[in-house]
Structure 1
Amino acid sequence: MNINGLTFVDDFIIFCNGSRDSVKETCNFLKHYEKVSGQSISREKTCFIVGKGASQTKVNMIARITRFTKGKLSLTYLGINVFKGAKSIFLFEDMISKIKEKVNDWSGKNLSYGGRLILVQTVLTSLPFLPHIMC
């Protein structure tokens, strides 16, 4: 089975077409992952997301097979909002406030311009950015 998705340590986003067989294969993959890794999938933190055109019957089928709750975009993955549609500044407010908070913490420190530049570069490169936004 080809698994399409994003992974980072123990955080997964898995994509499938929503057919009964695809959903069952994905669940079998997750069960196999639990067995091999010794980790458990957290049902409280796990959800599925369907497109706008998905029927209520499909949503019910996915919920019944996976036993996950239905989520919606935008969601946060590795601290970054994942969304569909036009970018809007409110989607990045959490990230911007975190950066501002870090910069404000440094305001009391006596760093040279070069020191501040290196500090900002270090923090920005340590933030997890997704290479692509879902479209």
Structure 2
Amino acid sequence: MYEKWSGQRISKAKSALIPSKYISLARKRGLLRITGSMEGKFPVTYLGAPLVSQKLISWIMKPLVEKIRKKIIGWKFKLLSHGRRLILLRHVLSSMPIHLMSLFNVPQVTISHINSFLANCLWGEVEGKRKNHWHSWGKVCKLTAEGGMGLRDLKDVQKSLLM
């Protein structure tokens, strides 16, 4: 009926029915047969955001952390100056978790992992070992007028988005 009224087609391959645990087995089978959908389970990703049936926990956010880690690995930081790294951090990597942080209270463990990746990315590494961090992450995340590098601490970003 939806397809007829809207003129849009439902993609059965991308659709799933997630029934309530209180629904009878016969009713569930009937709904699956009528819709032609598969049965799905939580967590599910929708528009880049995980949909969960319980509290958001760190392992559910692992794809975001991996996406940032892979982005860092893909760039050849040996070839980039410190200033160029700073620009990539400020405008690309720091922006990647913003969408999810605006939707959810992202676990602090996840935010700490991402901040750690950003710090290691800023200071670089030699043969897989991280270089010394010349300033604390708190100092790096201050405004340039205050002596920092103008990056944003994702813990502070999370607080502001939740207000």
Does TM-score exceed 0.5, indicating one fold?
yes
Q: From 80, 103, 118, give the equivalent of 1:131.
A: 103
Cα distance in 1 for partners of 2:17, 2:54 equals 18
Q: From 91, 97, 100, give the equivalent of 1:118.
A: 91
Give the equivalent residue in structure 2 for 1:48. 17
**Number of positions where the alignment pairs a residue of Structure 1 with one of Structure 2:** 101
Distance 1:119 1:130, change over 3 A: closer
Distance 1:83 1:29, change over 3 A: same
Q: From 80, 87, 94, give the equivalent of 2:56.
A: 87
Conservation of the 8 A alpha-carbon contact between 1:73 and 1:84: yes
* CA positional deviation for 1:111: 4.2
The code of the aligned residue for 2:63 comes to D
Cα distance in 2 for partners of 1:129, 1:64 equals 37
Q: Percent identity?
A: 21
**SS of 2:50's equivalent?**
strand
Cα distance in 2 for partners of 1:132, 1:68 equals 28
* CA positional deviation for 1:83: 0.8
The code of the aligned residue for 2:81 comes to N
Cα distance in 2 for partners of 1:51, 1:121 equals 37
**SS of 2:45's equivalent?**
strand
Cα distance in 2 for partners of 1:72, 1:61 equals 18
Conservation of the 8 A alpha-carbon contact between 2:43 and 2:50: yes
Distance 1:123 1:111, change over 3 A: farther
Any stretches of 5+ residues in structure 1 without a counterpart? Answer: 1-27
Conservation of the 8 A alpha-carbon contact between 2:3 and 2:9: no
Runs of 4+ in 1 over 3 A off after TM superposition: 121-125, 127-130
TM-score (ref. length: structure 2):
0.51
Any stretches of 5+ residues in structure 2 without a counterpart? Answer: 106-163
**Structure with more of its chain in helix, by fraction:** 2
Cα distance in 1 for partners of 2:15, 2:4 equals 14
**Structure with more of its chain in strand, by fraction:** 1
* CA positional deviation for 1:120: 2.4
Distance 1:66 1:83, change over 3 A: same
Give the equivalent residue in structure 2 for 1:67. 36
Cα distance in 2 for partners of 1:57, 1:130 equals 39
